[in-house]
């Protein structure tokens, strides 16, 4: 079967449109699900565990060198080479107490925040999270 340039261009555009609509639909569904299945609640931070790891700074590259104490991040960055730059990634493991909208009782959950820079992160402070309207133990970041 012989296709001319115009037919191939139209086919590529149609395929691109279908893929674009599919991606937009998936993103819209995720946003809608987050809006309908979760409700914002305040959570009190009970404990914070801060660990660091090395990650590739180049998009599309992947390297992950285990957790270490963040106070040693300068020492860890010495492993970075000019042709393969690394960055320090901060991971905060938070232990949170929140009131579940399902049963109105206090629940405790662990929540990982990657590269979280803003807001209070000390025990006793509160942060906003999304709590599931159907599962007492399911939370997500806003």
Question: DSSP secondary structure string, the chain?
Answer: ----HHHHHHHHHHHHHHHHHHHHHHHHHHHHHHHHHEEEEEEEEEEEEEEEEEEESSTT---EEEEE-GGGHHHHHTT-BTTB-EEEEEEEEEEEEEE-TTTS-EEEEEEEEES--SS--STT-EEEEEEESS-TT-EE--
Residue 60 pLDDT level (bands cut at 50, 70, 90) = low
**Which of 51-66 are b and which e, b meaning 16 or more Cβ less than 10 Å from the residue's Cβ?**
ebbbbbeeeeeeeeee
115 has a pLDDT exceeding 60 = no
Q: What percent of the chain has pLDDT over 70?
A: 77
The whole-chain average pLDDT of the chain stands at 79
For residue 20, is pLDDT > 80? Answer: yes
pLDDT of residue 30: 75
Number of domains present in the structure of the chain: 1
Arithmetic mean of pLDDT, 15-32: 82
pLDDT for residue 89 is more than 90: no
pTM above threshold 0.75: no
User: Mean of the pLDDT values across residues 74-100?
Assistant: 78
Domain of residue 36 covers 5-140
pLDDT in tens, 71-84: 777 776 776 666 66
């Amino acid at each position: 079967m012989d296709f001319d340039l115009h037919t191939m261009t139209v086919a590529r555009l149609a395929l691109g449109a279908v893929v674009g609509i599919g991606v937009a639909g998936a993103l819209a569904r995720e946003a809608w699900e987050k809006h309908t299945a979760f409700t914002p609640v305040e959570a009190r931070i009970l404990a914070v565990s801060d660990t660091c790891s090395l990650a590739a700074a180049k998009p599309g590259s992947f390297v992950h060198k285990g957790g270490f104490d963040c106070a040693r991040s300068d020492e860890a960055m010495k492993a970075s080479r000019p042709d393969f730059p690394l960055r320090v990634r901060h991971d905060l493991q938070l232990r949170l107490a929140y009131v579940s909208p399902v049963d109105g009782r206090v629940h405790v959950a662990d929540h990982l925040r990657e590269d979280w820079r803003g807001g209070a992160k000390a025990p006793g402070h509160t942060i906003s999270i999304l709590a599931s309207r159907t599962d007492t133990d399911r939370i997500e970041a806003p």
